[in-house]
C-alpha cells in the first residue's frame, strides 16, 4: 500500500513560531510515513511533538536520521521520553562520533532532565539496503557540510525519496535524479530562493526550482518542497503559485493541514468583512475553498434568471484558470434540472458530497466524463455546496473536484471539509447580498446627486453642461490612470467619492440670486434696458431744446451723434468680458456728461451703479456681485456638511467645497494653502477651470481650444495656483477627447 505522508516539521536550521509561519510550519524537520502496519519517521526535529497523537497507540517506531545537526535531532529527547516504554529503532550513519553518542549528548544534563536509556532504543546503523516488513530502504550521500543521508523507501505500491539538506551542485543533481528515478514522491530541500542560493551556495542547501528540475528528470510523480528558511507563509504561497505555473507537479509541504485550514478560515472570514469588490471576493472564496480541501478543481456559479452561470473555473493540475479577472466565461449556463448535480443542490437546497462520480448513478456526470476523456483527466470526488444568504435565498453554488490529502492523493471530501465549506459559502452569500444592497444604496445616492446637479444646470442655462462635462473628463482621466497604473489610480470606492464631489460642487448655486448667477453681460438685461430708456429720454430732451431754440441745429446734430456713439459703445462694451485702457477712458468720459438739471442737481448720462459695472476689468461681475457668486462655494460646504454621508463618501463636503482654492492661498472662500489641499481637490480645480475655458455653451464668450486653455492653466501653475504634476498628467490623459 502507499504510505500516508504527514509533515510535522518543515523548517530548516531553526524553528520559527509566530503567526507568519502557521500554514507551512515553523517546526524543524520531521515527517511520518504511515504504512498502517509500519510507521517510519524521518528525522526528529522540533516538529516531533505535534506527531505524538499519531504515535500514542504504537508499540514501536522506526526512526531514520539523515544527520545529527541540531535542527534534525532536537526533538529526540521529547520522543525518547514520550516513548520510554516502547521501542525506537534508529537508523543512521556514524559521523564524527557515533550517532548514539550524538543523541546521548542532547539527552543529558544540563540539556535534558531525563537520561538516555539503552533498554528501548535500538541502533541499527545504516546498511546499503535495509528491509523493514515489506519496505526496502536504500540511501545515498548528500552534498552537505558534515555529511547527510538521503533515503528511498520502496514497497510494491510506492516509493518515497527524502532529500533534506541537499545541494544540487558538483553533479549531485544527476546522482539524485538517478536515485529518485520513477519515485512517487520526492521530498526536497528548498531552503533558498535563487538570489539567496547565489550568496549561500556553500551552505549545503538547494532551491525549489532545482527540485522541480530533478523531479522532472527522474520522472517523479510529485515533488514536495520542505526545509524552508526564513520565508513567511505569504512569501511561500506566492513562490508556490509561480512555480506551479511551470511545474504543476510541485507542491510546498504544509506542516499540519489542520493549521492550514484554520488559517485559511480566519483569512477568508476577515476578508469577507472588508472586501467590497465582487470579483475579488469570488476569487478569494473559490481559492480558499480549494486550499482548505486540497481540491484540484473548483467552479463558482451564480444563480441568475433561473439558471446557474459560470463565474470562475479553476483546474490547477491542468493550469486552467477562467473568470479570475471578471471576464465572461463563454459557456452555456446550467439549467435547473434535478439530474444535474449543481442544479440539484439548488433545487433540493442541500450539500451534495460524492466520493467517486464514476460510481454514482444519481446525477448526470456525462459532462465531467467527457471532459476527462478529451483532457486525460480523472474526476473522482465532488462536493457541491449551495450559497444561501441570511434570507434563505440561494444565490449560487460552489463545486469542488478531487480533494487531496497532504501528499496529493485524491480522496473523498471529509465531514470537516463539508462543514467548513458550508460555513464559508453561507458567509459569502450574505456578503454578496450585502454588497448588492450597498450598491443599490450607493446608486440611489448617486442618482439623487445627478438629479440635484441637473436641477442646478436648469437654473443656470449659461453653464448647463458644466458639471456633466467635468464628470466625463474626470472619469476618462481615471480610466487612463487605471490603464497605465498611474500615480492617480484609484479604486472604485474612491472614484465614486471624487465623482460625487464633482456632481455636487456647485450645489450652493441653488440659493445664489439668479440675476447674479445668470448675468452674462456687464449691465445685465434690465440694466441695459434702463440705460436705453434714459438715452431715449435724453434724445427727446434734445429735440425739445431744438424746438424751443435752446440749441442750434448744429449743436443738436452734434449732441445726437455723440449720444448714438456713446450708446453704441456701451452696447459693445456690455458684451465684452475685458476692459481695455482705451475703453476705461471712454467710460470715464461718458460719466462726465450731463443732460439736465433738477432741483439744483445735474443729471448724468450714467449713474454710479452703471459706471461700476462698465468699469469691470474682466468678466461681467462687479466686486460685490463676485462676492455673492463666490458665496456659492461657502454654501456648498455648509449644505453638504449638514448631511451624514455614508462610509466611502466622507470627504465629499470638503472636496466639493474647496474647488476654488489655490495652492498659494489666493483662492476662496477659506484661502487654504497647498498642505491643506489633497490631490483630489487639486484635480477637481484643474478640471473645473479647464471645462470653463473650453465650454461651448456660453453665449457671452467663445470657447477656447484645449491648447490655449492649457497655456492659461500652465500660467496658473507658474503662479503656484494649481498643481503642475496633476496638470501634466491630465494633459497626457487627453480626457476631454
Q: What is the pLDDT of residues 655-692, one digit of tens each?
A: 988 988 999 999 888 899 999 999 999 999 999 999 98
| pLDDT for residue 127 is more than 50 | yes
Instruction: Report the C-alpha gap between 32 and 62 in whole angstroms.
Output: 10
| pLDDT for residue 411 is more than 80 | yes
CB 209 within 8 A of CB 194: yes
The predicted model gives 443-448 an average pLDDT of 67
Q: What percent of the chain has pLDDT over 70?
A: 90
Element (H, E) at 212: helix 208-217
- pLDDT value, residue 514: 63
CA angle 18, 21, 27 (to 5 degrees): 90
The predicted model gives 404-427 an average pLDDT of 84
Instruction: Report the C-alpha gap between 227 and 14 in whole angstroms.
Output: 10
Fold that domain 259-432 belongs to in CATH: Beta-Lactamase (3.30.450)
pLDDT band at 314 (very low <50, low <70, confident <90, very high): very high
CB atoms within 10 A of CB 467: 25
CB 386 within 8 A of CB 351: yes
Same fold, 4-255 and 259-432: no
Least confident residue range of 67-71, 133-137, 281-285: 281-285
Joined grid coordinates for residue 667: 483662492
Helices 208-217, 172-179: axis angle to 10 degrees equals 50
Q: What is the pLDDT of residues 451-479, one digit of tens each?
A: 776 666 666 655 557 888 999 999 999 99
Question: Residues 251-289, buried b or exposed e (16+ Cβ, 10 A)?
Answer: bbbbbbbebbbebbbeebeeebeebeebeebbbbbbbbb
Instruction: Report the C-alpha gap between 41 and 61 in whole angstroms.
Output: 7
443 burial level (CB within 10 Å; 0-12, 13-18, 19+): exposed
Fold that domain 4-255 belongs to in CATH: Metallo-beta-lactamase; Chain A (3.60.15)
Phi and psi, residue 46, nearest 5°: -65, -15
pLDDT band at 736 (very low <50, low <70, confident <90, very high): very high
pLDDT band at 649 (very low <50, low <70, confident <90, very high): confident
| pLDDT for residue 700 is more than 60 | no
pLDDT band at 216 (very low <50, low <70, confident <90, very high): very high
Least confident residue range of 46-60, 248-262, 296-310, 333-347: 248-262
Query: DSSP characters for 324-355?
Result: TTS----SPPEE--TTSHHHHHHHTTS-EEES
Q: Which residue has the higher pLDDT, 286 or 83?
A: 286
Q: What is the pLDDT of residues 588-639, one digit of tens each?
A: 999 889 888 777 788 889 988 888 888 888 777 777 777 666 667 777 777 7
303 burial level (CB within 10 Å; 0-12, 13-18, 19+): buried
First to last CA, the chain: 70
Phi-psi region of 171 (alpha: psi -120 to 50; beta: other; left: phi over 0): left
- pLDDT value, residue 186: 96
Instruction: Report the C-alpha gap between 335 and 303 in whole angstroms.
Output: 10
Give the bridge partners for 397, in sequence order.
301, 386
Q: What pairing do the DSSP bridges indicate for beta strands 159-163 and 185-189?
A: parallel
- pLDDT value, residue 429: 82
For the chain, give every domain's residue range: 4-255, 259-432, 524-614
- Residue 713's closest CA among 695, 726, 698, 696? 726
Q: What is the pLDDT of residues 514-527, one digit of tens each?
A: 666 666 788 877 88
Distance, CA of 234 to chain centre: 16
- pLDDT value, residue 257: 47
DSSP summary character for residue 545 = H
Least confident residue range of 176-190, 226-240, 695-709: 695-709
Phi and psi, residue 186, nearest 5°: -120, 115
Sole residue written with cell 466611502: 648
- pLDDT value, residue 408: 72
Q: What is the mean pLDDT of the chain?
A: 87
pLDDT band at 258 (very low <50, low <70, confident <90, very high): very low
pLDDT band at 139 (very low <50, low <70, confident <90, very high): very high
The predicted model gives 219-228 an average pLDDT of 94
- pLDDT value, residue 18: 82
Complete edge-to-edge strand list for the sheet that includes strand 30-34: 4-9, 30-34, 39-42, 60-64, 87-91, 121-123
The predicted model gives 422-434 an average pLDDT of 81
| pLDDT for residue 204 is more than 80 | yes
Instruction: Report the C-alpha gap between 152 and 137 in whole angstroms.
Output: 6
Sole residue written with cell 459559502: 425
Return the percent helix, strand and coil in the chain, to nearest 5.
45, 15, 35
Q: Under 8 Å CB-to-CB from 369, ≥6 apart: which residues?
A: 357, 358, 379
36-40, 514-518, 695-699 — most confident range: 36-40
The predicted model gives 720-726 an average pLDDT of 96
- pLDDT value, residue 266: 58
Phi and psi, residue 716, nearest 5°: -65, -35
- pLDDT value, residue 8: 92
Cis peptide before 218 (omega within 30 of 0): no
Q: Under 8 Å CB-to-CB from 546, ≥6 apart: which residues?
A: 553, 556
Amino acid at each position: 500500500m502507499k504510505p500516508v505522508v504527514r509533515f510535522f516539521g518543515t523548517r530548516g536550521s531553526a524553528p520559527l513560531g509566530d503567526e507568519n509561519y502557521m500554514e507551512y510550519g515553523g517546526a524543524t524537520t520531521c515527517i511520518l510515513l504511515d504504512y498502517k502496519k509500519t510507521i517510519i519517521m524521518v528525522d526528529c526535529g522540533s516538529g516531533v511533538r505535534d506527531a505524538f497523537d499519531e504515535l500514542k497507540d504504537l508499540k514501536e517506531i522506526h526512526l531514520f536520521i539523515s544527520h545529527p545537526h541540531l535542527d534534525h535531532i532536537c526533538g529526540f529527547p521529547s520522543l525518547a521520553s514520550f516513548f520510554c516504554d516502547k521501542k525506537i529503532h534508529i537508523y543512521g550513519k556514524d559521523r564524527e562520533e557515533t550517532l548514539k553518542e550524538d543523541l546521548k549528548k542532547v539527552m543529558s544534563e544540563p540539556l535534558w532532565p531525563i537520561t538516555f536509556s539503552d533498554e528501548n532504543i535500538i541502533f541499527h546503523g545504516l546498511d546499503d539496503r535495509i528491509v523493514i516488513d515489506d519496505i526496502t530502504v536504500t540511501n545515498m550521500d548528500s552534498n552537505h557540510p558534515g555529511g547527510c543521508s538521503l533515503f528511498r523507501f520502496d514497497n510494491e505500491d510506492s516509493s518515497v525519496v527524502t532529500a533534506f539538506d541537499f545541494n544540487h551542485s558538483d553533479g549531485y543533481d544527476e546522482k539524485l535524479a538517478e536515485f529518485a528515478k520513477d519515485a512517487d514522491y520526492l521530498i526536497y530541500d528548498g531552503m533558498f530562493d535563487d538570489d539567496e542560493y547565489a550568496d549561500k551556495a556553500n551552505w549545503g542547501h538547494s532551491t525549489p526550482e532545482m527540485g522541480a528540475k530533478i523531479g522532472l528528470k527522474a520522472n517523479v510523480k510529485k515533488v514536495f518542497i520542505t526545509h524552508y528558511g526564513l520565508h513567511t507563509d505569504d512569501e511561500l504561497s506566492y513562490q508556490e503559485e509561480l512555480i506551479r505555473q511551470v511545474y504543476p507537479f510541485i507542491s510546498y509541504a504544509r506542516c499540519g493541514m489542520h493549521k492550514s485550514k484554520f488559517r485559511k478560515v480566519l483569512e477568508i472570514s476577515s476578508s469577507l468583512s472588508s472586501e467590497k469588490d465582487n470579483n475579488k471576493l469570488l476569487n478569494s472564496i473559490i481559492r480558499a475553498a480549494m486550499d482548505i480541501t486540497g481540491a484540484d478543481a473548483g467552479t463558482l456559479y451564480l444563480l441568475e434568471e433561473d439558471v446557474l452561470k459560470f463565474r470562475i473555473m479553476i483546474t490547477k493540475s491542468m493550469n486552467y484558470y477562467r473568470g479570475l479577472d471578471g471576464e465572461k466565461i463563454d459557456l452555456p449556463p446550467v439549467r435547473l434540472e434535478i439530474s444535474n448535480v449543481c442544479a440539484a443542490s439548488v433545487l433540493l437546497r442541500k450539500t451534495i458530497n460524492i466520493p467517486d462520480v464514476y460510481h454514482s448513478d444519481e446525477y448526470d456526470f456525462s459532462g465531467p466524463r467527457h471532459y476527462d476523456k478529451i483532457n486525460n483527466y480523472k474526476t473522482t470526488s465532488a462536493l457541491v455546496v449551495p450559497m444561501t444568504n441570511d434570507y434563505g435565498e440561494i444565490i449560487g453554488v460552489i463545486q469542488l473536484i478531487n480533494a487531496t490529502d497532504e501528499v496529493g492523493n485524491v480522496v473523498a471530501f471529509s465531514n470537516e471539509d463539508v462543514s467548513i465549506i458550508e460555513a464559508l459559502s453561507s458567509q459569502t452569500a450574505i456578503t454578496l447580498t450585502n454588497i448588492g444592497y450597498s450598491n443599490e444604496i450607493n446608486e440611489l445616492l448617486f442618482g439623487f446627486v445627478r438629479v440635484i446637479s441637473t436641477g442646478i444646470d436648469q437654473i443656470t442655462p449659461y453653464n448647463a453642461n458644466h458639471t456633466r462635462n467635468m464628470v466625463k473628463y474626470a472619469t476618462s482621466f481615471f480610466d487612463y490612470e487605471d490603464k497605465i497604473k498611474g500615480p492617480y489610480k484609484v479604486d472604485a470606492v474612491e472614484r465614486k467619492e471624487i465623482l460625487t464631489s464633482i456632481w455636487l460642487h456647485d450645489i450652493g448655486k441653488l440659493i445664489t440670486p439668479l440675476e447674479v448667477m445668470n448675468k452674462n453681460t456687464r449691465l445685465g438685461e434690465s440694466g441695459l434696458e434702463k440705460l436705453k430708456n434714459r438715452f431715449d429720454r435724453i434724445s427727446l430732451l434734445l429735440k425739445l431744446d431744438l424746438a424751443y431754440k435752446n440749441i442750434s441745429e448744429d449743436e443738436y446734430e452734434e449732441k445726437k451723434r455723440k449720444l448714438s456713439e456713446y450708446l453704441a459703445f456701451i452696447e459693445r462694451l456690455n458684451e465684452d468680458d475685458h476692459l481695455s485702457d482705451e475703453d476705461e477712458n471712454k467710460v470715464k468720459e461718458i460719466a462726465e456728461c450731463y443732460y439736465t438739471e433738477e432741483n439744483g442737481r445735474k443729471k448724468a448720462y450714467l449713474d454710479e451703479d452703471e459706471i461700476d459695472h462698465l468699469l469691470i476689468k474682466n468678466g461681467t461681475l462687479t466686486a460685490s456681485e463676485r462676492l455673492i457668486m463666490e458665496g456659492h462655494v461657502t454654501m456648498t460646504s455648509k449644505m453638504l456638511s449638514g448631511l451624514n454621508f455614508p462610509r466611502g463618501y466622507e470627504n465629499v463636503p470638503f472636496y466639493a467645497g474647496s474647488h476654488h482654492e489655490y495652492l498659494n492661498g489666493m483662492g476662496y472662500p477659506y484661502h487654504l494653502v497647498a498642505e491643506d489641499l489633497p490631490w483630489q481637490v487639486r484635480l477637481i480645480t484643474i478640471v473645473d477651470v479647464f471645462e470653463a475655458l473650453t465650454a461651448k455653451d456660453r453665449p457671452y464668450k467663445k470657447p477656447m481650444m484645449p491648447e490655449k486653455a492649457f497655456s492659461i492653466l500652465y500660467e496658473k501653475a507658474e503662479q503656484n495656483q494649481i498643481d503642475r504634476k496633476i496638470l501634466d498628467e491630465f494633459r497626457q490623459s487627453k480626457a476631454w477627447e
